[in-house]
Structure 1
Amino acid sequence: MTSEPAQHPFLKMANVNVALGDRNVLHDINLTIQTGEHVAILGANGCGKSTLIRTMTCELYPAIPGLDQPRPEVSLFGHSRWDLTELRKHFGVVSDSHPGLYSTSRAPDTAGSSTGRTTGLNAVIAGFFSASTLWPNLIVTDEMRQRATEALERIHASHLINHLVGEMSAGEKRRILIARALAHRPQQLLLDEPSNALDLAAQRDLRESLRGLIADGVGLILVTHHLNDIPPEIERVILMQKGRIVADGPREQLLTAPVLSDLLGTEVRIGEQDGWLHSW
């Protein structure tokens, strides 16, 4: 790449429709996210969030338009084509649906498996190779070890350096996934449903870590259907429904009971404590 990614918006989508099989899943998506911007994307299950993520990460591509339709555009940091190894240096993704590129293997984390015998530090280092563990043929540099250690420190997970992944809790494994993404020192980080399967203590720890990343200047895209996942520092909210972006604006305008009740098709009540919102 000849130009610095920070000189361009992180993401630009225009006239994007995405089909899975014979069914359109995303409809007329027009979206720009600046590099370093903090954004939350909300919607009910099945609204198209996962398909939007897969389009952002170059796993899916826009449908070919008809002759009378505008040409779609998807660009990341100003480029429509990326070598995925190069992209990982600028854009980190933490998503259970993308194990091959951006997260650890979904193989069982038993003590007898290769993943289960991997320490936290080695699991993060393996992320440089998009691998689940450090296989013997991989050449690890001192810089990789340093970056992996720094990434674990950054999310207050240094205590996991020598712990086995197979013995970690769900919350600890989620921290390892985030550290794998951060080891490349990306400018933008995407987290997909980050609090899933976490208990209340792990959720609290994770959310405080996210606030720390925002304070450090990492751009954060948070995809969720849980209102209490959203740090107070996130000021822009995008709402999705039936494969479309139905609202895009300030949190104080969109994270309200009437708006979310309409979006989710059920009565939503909202409370607030120390800047965090919660719903029931």
Structure 2
Amino acid sequence: MASLSSAPFLHLSNVNVTRGDNIVLHDINLSVNAGEHIAILGPNGCGKSTLIKTITCECYPIVQSETRVSIFGRERWDLTELKKRLGVVSPELPGRHTLATTGRDAVLTGFFSSSTLWPNLTVTDAMQARADEVLELIDAVPLRDKPVGQMSAGQQRRIMIGRALVGSSSAFGSDRQMLLLDEPSNALDLAAQQDLRDLLRSLARQGTGILLITHHVSDIIPEIDRILMMKEGRIVADGPKSELLTASRLSDLFATEVQLTHRDGFHHAW
């Protein structure tokens, strides 16, 4: 078996997933290398979030002989260990207790996949040093002692990205260099959206892989060069951004006439 550092981040083969009585992902075949920058684009309800939940093992495929799911080169994982290796950022906070947690402690919860630092959790000196390092990396040192509930939505999103990244240091035995973002710009105003994109660009240039799920074309940072398009639970296109981000392709994907402009490496659609 390949080592975790040399294996692809993700390999899905003939994956079908149900939610309730409905099949919501159909025959998904996908490979993603560690460190790759990808955007998964599609309308609401197309299965993007279910795909993320499949990657994080919150949803499981229908059992079929030809179905394969491999994450970091393994087909079987202890879910507690896997959650520590996957840097996942969603629009929601981990739990209501996170609101009373300071920025630094919220970043530290990434080591435990918890909503706050419960009394039974042991935080080592090395973990504290890593949290401080991540706060600097994401330019969030001023948020160190501020309760998450007193932060703006943009500040909260920045701290949640730090939480997702904190366990990626090799000092903690992790080979994770992938950040999974599910609609990260939701509920952010224009200034916070720009702030988020600048942060993601900085992380991408430093080698962090980005798997971005969105229906906003303007969220696709210039460093992302591969686009997946999803519709009705299927991957309908997978290729270079230069080929897929066109007005005609987007019009077909979203079933409406789309106009597209390009400026400073970003695309804008309306």
Aligned to 2:203: 213
Give the Cα separation in 1 of the matches to 2:101 and 2:237.
43
Cα distance per residue 1:20-49 (max 9 Å; x no partner)? 222111111111111111110000000010
Q: What is the number of equivalent residue pairs in this alignment?
A: 263
Output the CA distance in 2 between the equivalents of 1:218 and 1:84: 22
Equivalents in 2 of 1:34, 1:129: separation in Å?
25
- Structure 1 counterpart of 2:243, which letter? Q
* Distance (Å, rounded) in 1 between the aligned partners of 2:87 and 2:225: 21
Asked if the contact 1:48/1:243 (under 8 Å) is kept, the reply is yes
1:165 aligns with 2:160: no
Distance 1:3 1:149, change over 3 A: farther
Counterpart residue number, 1:60: 59
Tell me the amino acid that sits aligned with residue 99 of structure 2.
Answer: G
Q: For each residue in 1:89-126, what CA deviation from the matched residue of structure 2 results, as whole angstroms up to 9, or x when unmatched?
A: 432111246xxxxx531x2xxxxxx4333210011112
Unaligned runs of at least 5 residues, structure 2: 169-175
- Normalising by structure 1, what TM-score? 0.90
Partner residue of 1:17? Answer: 16
Structure 2 counterpart of 1:182: 165
Are residues 1:269 and 2:259 paired? yes
Measured in 2, the distance between the counterparts of 1:3 and 1:27 equals 28
Instruction: Give identity over the alignment, percent.
Output: 59
Confirm or deny: 8 A CA contact 2:84 2:112 kept in the other structure. Answer: no
2:14–2:67 CA contact under 8 A, matched in 1: yes
State the distance in 2 between where 1:115 and 1:91 align. Answer: 19
Q: Is the 1:104–1:123 contact (alpha carbons within 8 Å) kept by the matching residues of 2?
A: no
- What pairs up with 1:21-100 in 2 under 5 angstroms? 21-65=20-64, 71-96=66-91
Q: Specify which of 214, 238, 254 is matched with residue 248 of structure 1.
A: 238
CA distance in 2: counterparts of 1:84 and 1:257, whole angstroms: 41
Q: Which one-letter code corresponds to 1:203 in the other structure?
A: Q
- The aligned amino acid for 2:108 is I
| Aligned-partner residue type, residue 117 of structure 2 | L
Match of 1:111 in 2: none
CA contact (8 A) 2:91 2:186 kept: no
Aligned 8 A contact 2:3 2:73 in 1 = no
AA at the equivalent of 1:157: A
In the TM superposition, what is the alpha-carbon distance from 1:216 to its structure 2 partner? Answer: 0.9
